[in-house]
Amino acid sequence: MVLAGQNPASEVYVRNKIKTVGESGCRAELFRLDGSASLSEALALVHTLNADDAIDGILVQSPLPEGMGADAEQRVFDAIDPAKDVDGFHPFNVGLLVQKRPALVACTPLGCIELLEREGITMKGKHAVVIGRSDIVGKPMAMLLLHRDATVTICHSRTVGLPAIARTADILVAAIGRPGFVTADFIKPGATVVDVGINTLTAKADVERIFEEGSRKRAVFAEKGTVLVGDVHPGVEAVAGAVTPVPGGVGPLTVAMVLRNTVTAAELRATRKAAM
Ligand code: NAP
């Protein structure tokens, strides 16, 4: 894992991943770059990790420091050996996913699929609506649902009539980054709702807008001064058939898929070496 700079949220994410990976019996190592490090230094580190045969998976935590430039993340992700790309962001792995030959797939959408499969939610023939079209969540999510024979609609910030489209979904995936954006009027009764969003509320007015008086979330906010909320409003629970919680839903599955991808990468590399 590569961590550049001292973003507090990134520190937490990386610490969690290192703990979980370590507990699983894999070896996890953290490589730190200073917040003032250049893009060339980040690329040089990636090249060193690519060349190290003892390393099966490379994760570069985003965001990278602003000083590295606007296209730094793309350049760094592109530099990772596709065989070690356990985030599944490399264009080679994205291409394989589109061609339904997935090898290493983005961890968050992979976790959403795992969650749907383990809960016995049928995807075949169902209408799935994905709100969000990012490269790391929305687009790969749509592709994975398509490959499980769902009929998929992708929505985004320019979609006209979003609530009406969402209401036609048997499976609704919210990956937007807006607290409580998906309200009960977006939901077909009985639909399955996957909430990918992780938003930290720090303003009392926002907490009171989303959570009812006497709710546990209000109590958490009163105690800590912050509270986590997804992209899905709690009022959705009354209409949906199933809703993933935030926290404790897609987040832990994402970390689990980092592990799965690391094992997949190790196996693929071992098979390739054996064939040489
Ligand atoms: P992102 O790159 O900012 O993409 C957000 C998407 O939402 C964009 O496609 C955007 O549309 C769309 N959007 C924004 N406002 C909208 C609106 N008013 N109506 C409809 N669509 C709208 O975010 P991301 O990286 O995909 O992440 C999304 C959320 O998931 C965030 O809360 C993030 O923290 C969370 N996340 C969670 C995990 C996890 O492990 N649980 C992992 C990754 C991300 P445009 O393309 O038109 O701008």
Hey, which of 137, 201, 233 would you mutate to test ligand 1's pocket, going by the most ligand atoms within 8 Å of its Cβ? 137
Q: Which atom of ligand 1 is nearest to the CA of 159?
A: 20
Query: What local confidence, expressed as pLDDT, does residue 12 receive?
Result: 85
Q: Is the CB of 174 under 6 A from ligand 1?
A: no
Average pLDDT over residues 194-205: 96
Please report where in the chains the tokens 């009960």 appear, as a residue.
184
Nearest CA to ligand 1 atom 18: 157
Q: What is the pLDDT of residues 169-187, one digit of tens each?
A: 999 999 999 999 999 999 9
Closest CA to 153 of 142, 144, 162: 142
Strand partners, 171: 128, 192
182: left (phi over 0), alpha (psi -120 to 50) or beta: beta
Q: Is the CB of 256 under 6 A from ligand 1?
A: no
- How many degrees, rounded to 5, is the angle at CA 40 between CA 37 and CA 45? 80
Element (H, E) at 248: none
Q: Is the pLDDT of residue 98 over 90?
A: yes
Q: What is the pLDDT of residues 143-173, one digit of tens each?
A: 999 999 999 999 999 999 999 999 999 999 9
Contacts with 155 (C-beta within 8 Å, 6 or more apart), sequence order: 129, 130, 131, 132, 133, 162, 165, 166
Q: Which atom of ligand 1 is nearest to the CA of 177?
A: 32
Q: Is the CB of 107 under 6 A from ligand 1?
A: no
| pTM as predicted | 0.96
Which three-class secondary structure state does DSSP give residue 200? strand
Helices (H), the chain: 8-23, 39-51, 72-79, 91-98, 107-118, 138-147, 162-166, 204-210, 216-224, 250-275
Query: What local confidence, expressed as pLDDT, does residue 36 receive?
Result: 95
How many angstroms separate the alpha carbon of residue 108 from the centre of ligand 1?
12
Catalytic residue annotation:
17, 61, 87
Q: Is the pLDDT of residue 201 over 90?
A: yes
> Cis link prior to 8 (omega < 30° from 0)?
no
Query: What local confidence, expressed as pLDDT, does residue 188 receive?
Result: 98
Q: Is the pLDDT of residue 9 over 90?
A: no
How many angstroms separate the alpha carbon of residue 107 from the centre of ligand 1?
15
